[in-house]
Structure 1
Amino acid sequence: MTYANPDRRETISRLLNPKSIAVIGASSDFGKVNGRPLKHLIEKGYAGRILPVNPKYEEIAGLVCYPSIEALPEAADLAIIALPAAHVCDCVEKLGRKGIRTAVIFSSGFGEMGDEGKVLEKRLAETAKAARVILLGPNCLGFVNAFDNVYATFSQYADGETGAGPIAFVTQSGAFGTAIAALVRQRGLGLGYFLNTGNQADLSFAELMMAIVEDPRIKVAAGYLEGITDGDALVRLARKCQELGKPLILTKVGRMSSGARAAASHTGALAVSDAVFDAVVRQYGVLRARNEEQMLDMLEVFCQPRRACGSGLGIATQSGGAGVMMADRAEEVGLTVPELGAATQARLAAVMPAFGAAGNPVDVTGQFVARPELLTESVVSLLDDPDIDVAIVWLQLMTAHVEPLLGIFREIQQRTVKPFLVCWVAAPDAAIKGLRAADIPVYTAGERAVEAAAALARYGMQRKTSEDAVSPSGSPACPGTTGSGMQPTVEASSWLREAGIPMAHARLAESEDHAVALWRDSARPVALKIESPDIPHKTEIDGVILNIDDEAGIRSGYRALIERARTAMPDARLSGVLVQEMAEGHVELVIGVQRDPVFGMIVMVGFGGILVEVLKDVTFRRAPFDRSEAYSMLDDLRMSRILDGVRGKPAVDREAISLLLFRLSHWAAAMEPRLSELDLNPVLVGEAGPSVVDCVMILEE
């Protein structure tokens, strides 16, 4: 919950780098939660004024202790509140009267405690809004700004060495976030900022990260999420990171929690929360880590300054088996292991022993111990190849050769400009420390190194997404006065057709005679389909009859569909039977739109038909998007090669499909206030392009 404040951004900046800090409820016992921030601030050399507040003490650790907020000699830039939950609202109100505009609330006993706590948390948020106090928390560990020695925290992380580094880390979990911070420290990477959001009664993950990612000392941002409620804020953050050229790496739990609900459309059933989250963050250039270790692997590769411009991976190894394993994993994660150019192979052959391999992977064997130039020249040649964008060097043990090898890697670094990673299995500690000191990422397992290289490649190839892309000509058709619920197929198809969506022509027959007349008028074979606002999936009641081209078939088909509907769903309202010209196409897609509660209008495309919810070969994007993004959706599908023609079938026009998706995304964005779900299934695609055969549209007032 945030409130409108014209100087909010400046106030948040003051929170993160305060010139004075009041500790409300301070204790002289530095082992307690309310004593630890004082300990950290004093021991870590905070340069600003520290103002303890507690009527029990006259001084703490040589600092004057004030009996109340009112007695403070100044309005501190930041207040740390370490009081029982019942006293926090009153405290925030007093802070506002004193002119203190920011507070970190350690106190628990709020929304995390159930309904009663949620009521208290709502009261806290309302009190802060009235008092014009910006809150971090409650129920949080606070934060560390290591650049400026601000330790507004009781976290164990602050007990150890917390030298500032290029990483900004914001976490929604206190304990797990502390564990991740400790792992960062173990790797010697360095956190410039460590922030725990707590219950987010005011400041949210995205707003906090937005405030610190602009710091020029920060090179990469990382976050741990347990949930997200403001998709727009996360998208704005992702765009800002793209604009600044700073990777944003997120780990979000709940990947396998479907969150699925009963939905009238296939899109609604498939657009589960995590699948949508994953697709949207990728759309806006965010890198997602499966767990804390993968996050650390990604952070390590992005803490070094070099970036990859493509997906070509070069591998140099002293073990042929390790090279094959890494090449296999590279293909699985979207990297290519290209054949080296003739010039590169000639360079390698000039230094390679007869029993080595000058392909890719390059097997330099253990001979480089006797001939260090073998490893140096092999890796330099590999990185000079125009088809190689990033390289991995694999070796193991070499305990007696650490210093010479560190010298080799430093020389390689001096002679090249492309990124390279070292995978050193069973590496001595001195080797790991030496490589990291030289800004060379080092991993102890091959697959981890490959996955880090893949993250580097994905980031390098990401295109900045822009919602400012040119919209389709004309304004999307937006029904204004129709009621809620499933819309009549003829009307829904008409609106979509006006938006440029290729809808198969269909008309509603309210009697046998009318159906016959419509068939005669079409002068071609038709399909008959039951039409009812209560039957979204016609095939489930056998409510479709295809390819009829005679009067008897039309009449008997009409009667059969009405009878089937009445038998299967006696209470369904029957509007009649649709008479639709037969469409052609050898590829069947499903395309749809779902209004997601977090990210808004989400467009889906996948391989369709009756097996869509079994195959689940679908992908999502947040609307609106441009033609290039639409085209990339087709590449995401596991079976995308079907579009290029298989088993004698011709290829279909990907550009025509992407145009449909592009137009639909802009229409859906314009319809966000009213459109709940849209299901276009099947969409038949043939040599003439796509044709939408069936449509389920659900609107809300």
Structure 2
Amino acid sequence: MIAPATAAQRGPWTLTSLLNPSSVAIVGASDNLHGHTGRAVANLLRTGYAGRILPVNPRRDEVQGLACYPSVTAIPDAPECAYLLVRAALVPDAVRECARAGVRTIVVCSSGFAEEGDDGRALQAELAAEARAHGARLLGPNCIGVVNPSDRFVAAPTFNLTYDYVPGGIAVLSQSGGVGVNVLNRAQGRSIGVRAMVSLGNEADLSAAELLDHLVDDEATSVVALVLEQLRDVPAFAAAVERAHAAGKPVLALKLGTSDVGARSSQGHTGAMAGSHAVFSDIVRRLGVLEAATLDELLDTAHVLDRGVRPRSNRVLVISPSGGECTYLADRAVAQRMELPDLGEETKARLARLMRFGNPTNPLDLTGQVIGDTALLEDVLTVLDQDPAFDAMVVGIATFGAHDADRLLPQFVKAASSSARPTVFSAWTARHVTERAEQVLQDAGVPWLPTADRATAALSLATRLAAPPSFPVRTDTPTQRIERPRFASALPNEAESKRFLATHGLPVSEEVVVDSLQEALPAAERLGWPVVAKQLAGGVLHKSDLGLVKLGLRDPADLGAAWHELATIVREHDLDARGVLLARTYAGVELIVGATRDPVFGPVVMVGSGGILAELVGDRTFARCPVSVDEAREMVSRLRVARLLDGYRGKPHDTDSLAAVVARLSEVFAASPWLAEVDLNPVLVQVSGAGATVVDAALVCMAPDASSASL
């Protein structure tokens, strides 16, 4: 029997023991090729894995022609990796046996752990602790393991795998086993090389963040594609992405669960507009992760990046022998937010001398002239390559049959291969027509995609590498702490909320609370007509929904009428009246600034188009708290309303003051763990130099005994 060993005796864990171990034990192996217990061994045998395959089953002496061991401890030399294919009740003992025997990586394919509730989570944590105590690491549970085309290591116990493997530089880390297999199969079906696909499962131990960090040092990996349902360790993930950027290895992500169905409910606008995906998108973008919208976009972009497409900007040249294809590609490129700069004057003149162009432009229709003159095509492409106006090129190929594929495609491929600018081919495919064209492109090793839509989407996403993240995502814990005031309830009224905010440096509107019309009239005179009247009521967060906000009151008569209307609404709805808030009237562009606590990213700040349409318009950006004024300014610049703020058809507005409000709120919220949510809606941004004013505000407090772990 093998004596137990400690972590210190075994040395550091390495990625090799997961991706390409020298030996692998299959615990629970069988001859049943129609079940997962037999499929793992069968997959290893059929793919030509060079290491030792060690079936483990106490009821068998042989499995699929291989000697079978009654236990892992009965194996003379400890296997480097073990796959556990036994039911959940047997997993703890199996993990304990593997860890103590010296197995370096334990892959738990069995389900029945965290996905089953609190008891399963606790058991899952015990599995990870037992493995790590003995120097082993655990993948899963509830996963399908690893498929490694590069080293012919396919231990995944699944039937739904391609039988043809093409090695490459794309590493896929997927929290969903099924989607991970989809990515792998689609890649291999198009001869797109894959380094490995790792199914992460519940991430009891080995996480997406840690494996990403290991892949940064893996020479065979050029691009990492992530399929994520959630991030479990934001600081570790941020650090790994930063290392990947430094190593020149792009990180892509596809987020599962982006629909409103999964969005959490909230009392305030900010939480309602957050949801997991909106926050996820903005924060991973700030990390420098390229987020794909679809599975195809994830794989397509990984493919072009793996083939060396790294544009310096989003300025692209579109060319095709088809005028219609040129136009369609150009439309799709612009829709993908790429720029099509005009060709230089010298380039136009040289092209005019070569071809019968009326006005050579971008997109560039090569016309039928090149179909019968490959030398002309080569000359034209040489001229284009010398034009500095663009940094990438998209070549649109129609449904070329074998004749044109053999005559013309090599010229395009030759030009693309010798060009200093990266080129992506859009080559439409049609069964029984384009097979030869596909083969020519495949053999040439150039990045190509089967539609114009996919080619432009992938290139556009790749161009975002040219603008690395300007600001780091804060993952530390603020040292400042703001104590909780004595509010009357968990929903302070607007006056209480604004007093708190003003105390901590936020610019709120000039206002006063009055209890009678007799008090209101002189107060309005002091504030200056016109004024705003808002009925304060206990437990009412959005006053306008009940008609409790009266705007543009220009004189005592208006104020008197509004006062009686508010009193009527209070009686009809039996509200707990807390006085009427009178405020100055401010002019400006309405924005919303808010903060909430995301279950993954913790405290986040938001800025977006404001007013009653805040949720409907959906124009907002998020960042993890706290942010600097410069970071807040960048957030504002990403809004659709930014053009209006910058002076579209009018004077520019005070975006510096708006950025200061965003930054200060982020600091206050990060330092106030008792706050669940803050809405400043609207913040009125006045013309440049005139400031920004918080006109309405709502605070949502946590219960007094709530945890402050999200600080």
**What TM-score results when the alignment is normalised by the length of structure 1?**
0.88
Letter in 1 for 2:613: L
Q: Which residue of 1 aligns with 2:258?
A: 255
Preserved contact between residue 608 and residue 681 of structure 1 (Cα < 8 Å): yes
Question: Which residue among 462, 478, 481 is the counterpart of 2:482?
Answer: 478
Letter in 2 for 1:567: R
1:592 aligns with 2:588: no
Greater shift, 318-327 or 15-24, is seen at 15-24
1:272 aligns with 2:275: yes
* Alpha-carbon separation, structure 1, partners of 2:678 and 2:20: 48
Q: Which residue of 1 aligns with 2:633?
A: 631
Q: Which residue of 1 aligns with 2:680?
A: 680
Using the TM superposition, give the Cα deviation of residue 693 of structure 1 relative to its aligned residue in structure 2, in angstroms.
0.5
Using the TM superposition, give the Cα deviation of residue 121 of structure 1 relative to its aligned residue in structure 2, in angstroms.
5.8
* Alpha-carbon separation, structure 1, partners of 2:319 and 2:235: 43
* Alpha-carbon separation, structure 1, partners of 2:455 and 2:584: 55
Preserved contact between residue 18 and residue 146 of structure 2 (Cα < 8 Å): no
* Alpha-carbon separation, structure 2, partners of 1:627 and 1:569: 43
Letter in 1 for 2:666: S
SS at 2:201 equivalent: coil
Give 1:168-183 correspondences, 5 Å limit. 168-183=171-186
Q: Which residue of 1 aligns with 2:709?
A: none
Preserved contact between residue 543 and residue 564 of structure 1 (Cα < 8 Å): no
* Alpha-carbon separation, structure 2, partners of 1:564 and 1:385: 73
* Alpha-carbon separation, structure 1, partners of 2:163 and 2:604: 45
Q: Which residue of 2 aligns with 1:98?
A: 101
Using the TM superposition, give the Cα deviation of residue 244 of structure 1 relative to its aligned residue in structure 2, in angstroms.
3.0
Cα 1:516–1:130 change in 2 (3 A) is farther
Cα 1:438–1:8 change in 2 (3 A) is farther
* Alpha-carbon separation, structure 1, partners of 2:68 and 2:481: 67
Q: Which residue of 1 aligns with 2:350?
A: 347
Cα 1:642–1:457 change in 2 (3 A) is same
Q: Which residue of 2 aligns with 1:208?
A: 211
Letter in 1 for 2:41: L
Cα 1:502–1:512 change in 2 (3 A) is same
Greater shift, 313-322 or 620-629, is seen at 620-629
SS at 1:35 equivalent: helix
Cα 1:496–1:308 change in 2 (3 A) is farther
Using the TM superposition, give the Cα deviation of residue 72 of structure 1 relative to its aligned residue in structure 2, in angstroms.
2.9
Q: Which residue of 2 aligns with 1:363?
A: 365
Q: Which residue of 1 aligns with 2:659?
A: 658
Question: Which residue among 671, 691, 694 is the counterpart of 2:693?
Answer: 691
SS at 2:103 equivalent: coil
Q: Which residue of 1 aligns with 2:163?
A: 160
Give 1:560-639 correspondences, 5 Å limit. 560-561=565-566, 563-564=567-568, 566-572=570-576, 574-585=577-588, 587-639=589-641
Q: Which residue of 2 aligns with 1:667?
A: 668
Q: Which residue of 1 aligns with 2:333?
A: 330
Letter in 2 for 1:633: M
Letter in 2 for 1:654: T
Question: Which residue among 292, 295, 298 is the counterpart of 1:292?
Answer: 295
* Alpha-carbon separation, structure 2, partners of 1:378 and 1:469: 52
Preserved contact between residue 477 and residue 496 of structure 1 (Cα < 8 Å): no
Letter in 2 for 1:480: R
* Alpha-carbon separation, structure 2, partners of 1:577 and 1:221: 57
Q: Which residue of 2 aligns with 1:453?
A: 459
1:434 aligns with 2:440: yes
* Alpha-carbon separation, structure 2, partners of 1:327 and 1:131: 55
CA deviations over 1:225-254 (Å, ceiling 9, x no partner)? 345555555544444433333222222333
Cα 1:131–1:247 change in 2 (3 A) is closer
Preserved contact between residue 78 and residue 102 of structure 2 (Cα < 8 Å): yes
Q: Which residue of 1 aligns with 2:89?
A: 86
Gaps of 5+ in 2: 1-6, 705-711
Q: Which residue of 2 aligns with 1:545?
A: 550
Q: Which residue of 1 aligns with 2:376?
A: 374
Letter in 1 for 2:580: V
Preserved contact between residue 327 and residue 361 of structure 1 (Cα < 8 Å): yes
Cα 1:478–1:379 change in 2 (3 A) is farther
Preserved contact between residue 226 and residue 253 of structure 2 (Cα < 8 Å): yes
Give 1:110-125 correspondences, 5 Å limit. 110=113, 119-120=119-120, 122-125=122-125
Cα 1:347–1:622 change in 2 (3 A) is farther
Q: CA RMSD in A?
A: 3.4
Cα 1:192–1:470 change in 2 (3 A) is closer
CA deviations over 1:386-418 (Å, ceiling 9, x no partner)? 331211111221521334434323431354211
Greater shift, 228-237 or 165-174, is seen at 228-237
* Alpha-carbon separation, structure 2, partners of 1:552 and 1:406: 80
Letter in 2 for 1:249: L
Preserved contact between residue 685 and residue 693 of structure 2 (Cα < 8 Å): yes
SS at 1:94 equivalent: helix
Give 1:397-546 correspondences, 5 Å limit. 397-426=400-429, 428-467=434-473, 478-482=482-486, 485-497=490-502, 499-512=504-517, 515=520, 518-519=523-524, 521-522=526-527, 525-546=530-551
* Alpha-carbon separation, structure 2, partners of 1:383 and 1:490: 64
Give 1:126-165 correspondences, 5 Å limit. 126-130=126-130, 132=132, 134-156=137-159, 160-165=163-168
SS at 1:276 equivalent: helix
SS at 2:394 equivalent: strand
Using the TM superposition, give the Cα deviation of residue 478 of structure 1 relative to its aligned residue in structure 2, in angstroms.
2.5
Cα 1:381–1:627 change in 2 (3 A) is farther
Preserved contact between residue 547 and residue 582 of structure 1 (Cα < 8 Å): yes
Q: Which residue of 2 aligns with 1:243?
A: 246
* Alpha-carbon separation, structure 2, partners of 1:101 and 1:564: 74
SS at 2:685 equivalent: strand
Letter in 2 for 1:649: G
CA deviations over 1:16-50 (Å, ceiling 9, x no partner)? 44343222122355664223333444454544444
SS at 1:56 equivalent: coil
Letter in 1 for 2:542: H
Preserved contact between residue 477 and residue 498 of structure 1 (Cα < 8 Å): no
Question: Which residue among 389, 392, 399 is the counterpart of 2:391?
Answer: 389
Letter in 1 for 2:347: T
CA deviations over 1:163-220 (Å, ceiling 9, x no partner)? 4210001223333322221111122121111111234444343433333343122111
Preserved contact between residue 510 and residue 527 of structure 2 (Cα < 8 Å): no
Number of aligned pairs? Answer: 686
Cα 1:458–1:266 change in 2 (3 A) is same
SS at 1:652 equivalent: coil
Preserved contact between residue 478 and residue 495 of structure 1 (Cα < 8 Å): no
Q: Which residue of 1 aligns with 2:3?
A: none
CA deviations over 1:135-184 (Å, ceiling 9, x no partner)? 32233221123444433322346662324210001223333322221111
Q: Percent identity among equivalent residues?
A: 34
Using the TM superposition, give the Cα deviation of residue 434 of structure 1 relative to its aligned residue in structure 2, in angstroms.
3.2
Cα 1:495–1:378 change in 2 (3 A) is farther
* Alpha-carbon separation, structure 2, partners of 1:602 and 1:468: 10
Cα 1:257–1:266 change in 2 (3 A) is closer
SS at 2:684 equivalent: strand
Preserved contact between residue 680 and residue 694 of structure 2 (Cα < 8 Å): yes
SS at 2:596 equivalent: strand
Using the TM superposition, give the Cα deviation of residue 699 of structure 1 relative to its aligned residue in structure 2, in angstroms.
2.1
SS at 2:184 equivalent: helix
CA deviations over 1:270-301 (Å, ceiling 9, x no partner)? 22233333333323222232332222221221
